[in-house]
Amino acid sequence: MIYFDLDKSNIRKEAALDLAKILDVLQQNPTMKIDIRSHTDCRQTAKYNLALSERRAQSTIAWLVSKGIDTSRLTGKGYGESQLINDCGCEPTNQSNCTEEQHQMNRRSEFIVTAL
């Protein structure tokens, strides 16, 4: 799992370190395929967050492709705020009862092995 900054889709330095580990596993297992599932916290509108999570999935895929992984081995989808780890109760005012750390847990990409 990697995490993102608020309202950002770029790969952070910490995330790049975790992606490098995933890259190693993919390189050692050339038939492995993964699905990247990206998420947001609940701040902003559901429509905005869905688009942001799509950008996060695509930037994660782009990072792996830039390191030599073929696109045929990667799929990705953004889920917006539909699968929160911490339900912070933002809607409809975007006011939240969560800490920044709890929001951070929601801003993530998950990696699911779909083929070996």
* CA distances in angstroms from 4 to 70, 72, 86, 114, 116, listed in the order given: 24, 25, 15, 23, 28
Phi/psi at 3 (5° precision): -120, 155
pLDDT value of residue 87 = 85
What is the full per-residue pLDDT of the chain (116 aa) written as tens digits? 999 999 999 999 999 999 999 999 999 999 999 999 999 999 899 999 999 999 999 999 999 999 999 999 999 999 999 999 998 877 656 667 788 999 999 999 999 999 99
Which residue ranges make up each domain of the chain?
Answer: 2-115
Angle value at C-alpha 88, between 85 and 91, nearest 5 degrees: 120
The fold of the 2-115 domain, in CATH, is: 60s Ribosomal Protein L30; Chain: A; (3.30.1330)
